[in-house]
Amino acid sequence: MKRILVTGGAGFIGSNFIHYVLNNCEDVELLVNLDLLTYAGNLENLLSVQDDKRYVFVHGDIRDSKLVNEIFDKYKFDTVVHFAAESHVDRSIVEPEIFLTTNIVGSQTLLDAAKRHWNVDPDNKYSREYLPGVKYLQVSTDEVYGALGKTGMFTESTPISPNSPYSASKASADLVVRAYYQTYGMPVNITRCSNNYGPYQFPEKLIPLMLNNAQHNKPLPIYGDGMQIRDWLHVSDHCSAILTVLKKGRNGEVYNIGGNNERANIEIVRLILNELGKDESLISYVKDRPGHDRRYAIDNAKITTELGWSPAYTFQRGMHETLEWYLNNPGWVERVVSGDYLDYYSKMYSKA
């Protein structure tokens, strides 16, 4: 793992991953971040690495096959970590199409470029031989499994049963990745992680949204009864799990990633209010999200026993540090919410 292509590296998890890799992986010579800078992409997340000689930013679309092939030619990647996606369930309910093109066609474009550059005989459709050490990792989600009732957990063999346009697009992409393994023998892995929290998360997702609203004494909109359960993992633990799979994962395998940390939404919201010293009267129960999955829970036995990964963060420490980060970086949140950073991009790229 010397020359990595990270897609979606200006987003929440991608930017945390870039920091994690550049701080922890001595073998990495080059890390290229390909990102379209949609509303969710923010180069401010990467200010501290922009002068790192190993880091290159490419502004572009994962669906642009010409561009993707050009950067494969130029940078000779041996590893692809594919984060780029439309990632918010609520947006997918009102605008499904972009989820399908970005999340499915974008993945297929990257897979094709990787196959062309990594297969030792790319024009031979029967060739299943690849350059040594290459790997494509698809960053997926536990949401592809659908919803659980009060009991049970998602294992890697739980049937795919997505309920939102977002999770359907991620599930479809996973099936395309599987097909490239089965048909072409491509060295791939799929990781399916539970809900992440931590620094640089766009304030449309539960934790930063509630935190921001509470700080400004705005109502905290809880869907339905607030008893939906998510299995929360600190983003840094997600990053360490991805690196573990890159190093030790068996080709073609899926690995679930989760921290055995199930919490009801209302519990998270109360915790935030409590930490900020705000009153529960800010809680506002609103009409439920259509198709809202009741419960997610990850069985992480495969990655822990087979690959030896385990999360480092307790929820208490992770939430404490996360709330502190948001409180210490009010400018980051304000610029994201006000859209100032979008103006910054349009100025920055006006010459291109």
Q: Does residue number 271 form part of the binding site for ligand TYD (CB under 6 A)?
A: no
Binding map of ligand NAD across residues 27-66, x = CB under 6 A, - = no contact: -------xxxxx-xx-------------------xxx---
Distances (CA, A) of 340 to 11, 59, 321, 331, 332: 16, 19, 26, 11, 10
Residue 172 half-sphere exposure, CB side, CA atoms within 13 Å? 18
Contact 3, 78 (CB under 8 A): yes
Measuring CA to CA, which residue among 232, 195, 213, 216 is closest to residue 284?
A: 213
Closest CB to ligand TYD among 117 and 205? Answer: 205
CB of 20 to ligand TYD, least distance (A): 21
Helix (H) or strand (E) holding 43: none
Looking up tokens 């970005």 gives 102
Contact 181, 138 (CB under 8 A): no
| End-to-end alpha carbon distance in the chain | 32
- The entry of ligand NAD, ligand TYD, none near residue 265 (CB within 5 to 8 angstroms by kind) is ligand TYD
Q: Of 44-52, 78-86, 215-223, 339-347, which segment contacts ligand TYD by CB under 6 A?
A: 215-223
Binding map of ligand TYD across residues 115-154, x = CB under 6 A, - = no contact: ----------------------------------------
Sorted by sequence, the CB contacts under 8 Å of residue 178 that are 6+ apart come out as 188, 190, 252
Contact 34, 71 (CB under 8 A): yes
- The entry of ligand TYD, ligand NAD, none near residue 84 (CB within 5 to 8 angstroms by kind) is ligand NAD
Closest CB to ligand NAD among 191 and 304? Answer: 191
Helix (H) or strand (E) holding 138: strand 135-141
Q: What is the largest CA-CA distance in the chain?
A: 66
Closest CB to ligand NAD among 87 and 240? Answer: 87
Binding map of ligand TYD across residues 224-243, x = CB under 6 A, - = no contact: ----x-x-------------
Q: Of 96-104, 130-138, 185-193, 220-228, which segment contacts ligand TYD by CB under 6 A?
A: 220-228
Identified binder of ligand TYD from the candidate list 62, 134, 206, 283, rule CB under 6 A: 206
Q: Of 69-77, 222-230, 322-330, 341-349, which segment contacts ligand TYD by CB under 6 A?
A: 222-230
Residues that bind ligand TYD (CB under 6 A): 89, 195, 205-206, 209, 221-223, 228, 230, 265, 289
